[in-house]
Amino acid sequence: MTISDFPRVHIATDHAGMELSAHLVSHLSAKGYDVVDHGPVEYDALDDYPSFCINAALAVVADQEAGTHALGIVLGGSGNGEQIAANKVKGVRAALAWNLSTAQLAREHNDANVVAVGGRQHSVDEATAIIEAFLSEPFSNDERHVRRIGKIATYERTGEVVL
């Protein structure tokens, strides 16, 4: 990958993922990614993560609509709530990844544009490898996957379930 191939990365977390988030911001920036941190900026065990994750997801969609190659990362203790919050944003396909395979398949088959990872579920090295697998895997553009994603997008836009 050349630096021009790296997507802009929008990242957000809750209190449980702050250490992992700080590591990823530093690690990915050093590798050449343009990382935008959507917070939080300080630890608060009672924080409300949805706003951080939704803002990161909104930024991914805005960048993509503007023609900028962008992906997102949302982190939490399990990653579940963060994935749910991100998926409420129109145009987001957030996938919870728990190993290299699920991270790669999220991009290859589902063209996921946001990955959720549980910071309490993995070591920093494991989580970093999962994130890197997600960021580096291209979408296959296979007709069956394009068709399926299209059906999801149609439902999201119109409420119509296409068979």
Give dist(CA 43, CA 145) in Å, integer: 40
Catalytic, out of 10, 38, 82, 122: 82
Catalytic, out of 15, 23, 27, 109: 109
- Residue 28, token pair as written in the block: 């990915």
- What are the residues whose beta carbons fall under 8 Å from the beta carbon of 147, sequence distance 6 or more? none
Residue 47 contacts residue 97 (beta carbons within 8 Å): no
Query: What is the rounded end-to-end Cα distance, in angstroms, of the chain?
Result: 38
Please state, in angstroms and as integers, the Cα–Cα distance from residue 152 to each residue in 27, 92, 114, following that order. Answer: 33, 11, 16
Please say if 109 is a catalytic residue. yes
Please say if 156 is a catalytic residue. no
Give dist(CA 35, CA 112) in Å, integer: 18
Residues designated as active site: 82, 109
